Amino acid sequence: MSLGQRLAYVALCILREPFRRLPVSTSLALGAKLARALEYVGGRRIDFARINLRIAFPNWSEAERRSLLRASLENLGRSLAELALIQGPRRKELFSGIRFEGVEHRDRARELSKCGGVIVFTAHFGAWELGGMATGALGYPLTVVHRAFENPYFEAMARAWREGSGMQTLPQGQAARGAVRALRRGDYLLMLLDQDVPRDEAVFVDFFGMQAATRSAPARLAMRLGVPLLPVAVERDGKSARHVVRFFEPLVVQPGGDALAVEATSLAINRALEAIVRRHPDHWSWLHRRWRTRPRPGEEGPYPSRRRRST
């Protein structure tokens, strides 16, 4: 643990404090306003978002894509404000604004499972953390596979709010055995499957019209254990702190399966995620390099390299 990591954590705690104490509506409005300013500050992440929006919506005008980018940043700011609020006295108020729809799909997925567990998948979409915490707080057996923060202080903070809501956590890269155990004991295993992955972990399937490196492990795990894959999205009601945790029709896989079956199942996952994003494109975080890893080694991707940016 370096001094820089400690100072970054202290700075985050100082920044978090006013959001924790403000009324919910005020905190969300402030978060949206600050996040929207990122468009004017610019930087690599904003460049990535503009490229992603051109890939996803090639027929839109630049003005339409710019409007969507602003709305997406605002929603991200509201979601970050909510993460501060759940660490303060407004926690119960936030949870009371969450309702569940499509529970018949959730129940059907449980019925279809060969071992009782269900793989639940979503994206960095809407208030995904808040939705997971609300689900865990209701007593559902929920285990989340997550990418650990490089800063151990940030990681400890995130683990505290997740596990404090009844969720179990599995760090990505160390999750294989834990995921199997969670499914066999009947847990809902939550995965976020919308980001680029290394080539040795990927199958390349379509996402918004372009081949994307997609994690193959969920399809393989579902086939190995005979469990369904259940899409879910956390949708915000306008600009408020009210949300719907919406379950969609489960994807049913056959036990076993070869490489072609893994590819077909991974494509079905991406199609479900794309449909979720298209419902509310302002809810998705467009800041990541989703199409960074290309199918052929050495193939030029859509994002400028740091070397290219510096020339």
The amino acid at 154: F
Q: Model-level pTM?
A: 0.93
Tokens of 159: 């683990």
Q: pLDDT tens across 136-183, in order?
A: 888 889 999 988 888 888 888 888 888 888 888 888 877 788 999 999
Q: Is the model's pLDDT at 67 over the cut of 50?
A: yes
Residue 115, both tokens? 């071992």
Residue 104: pLDDT above 80? yes
Write out the DSSP string of the chain: --HHHHHHHHHHHHHHHHHHHS-HHHHHHHHHHHHHTHHHH--HHHHHHHHHHHHH-TTS-HHHHHHHHHHHHHHHHHHHHHHHHTTTTTHHHHHHTEEEE-HHHHHHHHHH-SSS-EEEEE-SBSSHHHHHHHHHHTT--EEEEEPPPSSHHHHHHHHHHHHTTT-EEEETTS-HHHHHHHHHTT-EEEEE--S---GGGEEEEEETTEEEEEE-HHHHHHHHHT--EEEEEEEE-TTSS-EEEEE-PPBP--SS--HHHHHHHHHHHHHHHHHHHHH-GGGB-TTS-TT-S-SSTT---SSPPHHHHH-
Examine the pLDDT at 95 and tell me if it is beyond 60: yes
pLDDT for 74 equals 97
- What does the angle CA 54 – CA 55 – CA 60 come to, to the nearest 5 degrees? 45
Q: Of all helices (H) and strands (E), which one includes residue 19?
A: helix 3-21
For the chain, what is the mean pLDDT?
91
Domain boundaries, the chain: 3-291
